[in-house]
């Protein structure tokens, strides 16, 4: 009979990041920088390793918000199952749920943010979780393992046209930023563009740029693409890079970037 699984919480962020990024399926939502950002927004952030029979089975980072006697517990991008954990996903989730000691008014939400696996999904269903799917859960995916010509051939005509227009525009330059000061500067311009667009469109968002600024600039798993026209920055793309995918995380530009198709051909 297998030994009971153990759930051990940890506050060592450096060790946490080293261990999670060694796992297939690791993503930005599992990392300590994202947890630090959520903590700045007033949420309580905790991390735990689930182990069994001497092996690490899962890494779980979660956020807690309290309202009166109720708790809302949110897991993003996880639980991150190890190779050993995929075969024991149901037991891993059971151990985590027991560790939380959920009360009658508590709500536990698990959102894999497109990084779910078959084993994790099946385990969640077996524990009675109800899938909730809305418009924000739908995204466009592009298989970059294909030949570039094949990718372009499969595009809608309007996107092919926009891409070719962007590639022909010699006045538009792109550059990936690695220097911290350059990334901070780009994020500040991104914030200004973001605020201007929100004022024009009046849309709601959960992003708090001031709280995320230095965290994003220092996160090695984020790519910053600087797009300029005639030397003037017109668009900033921030992408999340994992071992399995590159996600267009945040993108904002000024009004001049739209007709140029800026950044379409570079990320």
Q: What is the pLDDT of residues 153-204, one digit of tens each?
A: 888 888 888 888 888 888 888 999 999 999 999 999 999 988 887 778 777 7
What's the predicted TM-score (pTM) here?
Answer: 0.86
Task: Say what the alpha-carbon torsion angle 29, 89, 15, 52 is, to the nearest 10 degrees.
Answer: 170
β-strand partners of 248: 239
pLDDT of residue 253: 76
More confident residue, 205 or 109: 109
pLDDT of residue 178: 96
Q: Which of 16-30, 128-142, 195-209 has the highest mean pLDDT?
A: 16-30
pLDDT of residue 136: 64
Q: What percent of the chain has pLDDT over 90?
A: 63
pLDDT over 80 at 212, yes or no = yes
């Amino acid at each position: 009979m297998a030994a009971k699984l153990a759930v051990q919480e940890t506050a060592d962020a450096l060790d946490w990041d080293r261990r999670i990024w060694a796992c297939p399926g690791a993503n930005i939502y599992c990392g300590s920088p994202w947890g630090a950002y959520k903590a700045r927004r007033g949420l309580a952030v905790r991390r735990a390793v689930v182990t069994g029979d001497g092996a690490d089975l899962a890494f779980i980072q979660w956020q807690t918000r309290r309202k009166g006697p109720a708790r809302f517990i949110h897991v993003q991008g996880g639980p991150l199952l190890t190779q050993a954990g995929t075969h024991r996903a149901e037991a891993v989730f059971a151990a985590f749920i027991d560790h939380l000691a959920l009360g009658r008014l508590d709500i536990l939400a698990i959102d894999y943010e497109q990084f779910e696996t078959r084993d994790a999904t099946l385990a969640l269903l077996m524990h009675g979780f109800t899938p909730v799917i809305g418009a924000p859960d739908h995204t466009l995916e592009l298989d970059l393992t294909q030949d570039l010509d094949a990718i372009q051939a499969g595009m809608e005509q309007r996107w092919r046209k926009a891409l070719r227009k962007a590639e022909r525009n010699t006045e538009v330059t792109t550059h990936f930023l690695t220097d911290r000061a350059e990334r901070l500067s780009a994020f500040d311009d991104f914030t200004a563009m973001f605020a201007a667009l929100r004022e024009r469109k009046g849309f709601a968002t959960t992003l708090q740029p001031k709280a995320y600024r230095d965290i994003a600039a220092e996160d090695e798993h984020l790519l910053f693409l600087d797009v300029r026209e005639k030397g003037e920055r017109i668009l900033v793309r921030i992408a999340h890079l994992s071992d399995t995918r590159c996600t267009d995380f945040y993108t904002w530009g000024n009004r001049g970037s739209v007709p140029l198709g800026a950044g379409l051909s570079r990320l």
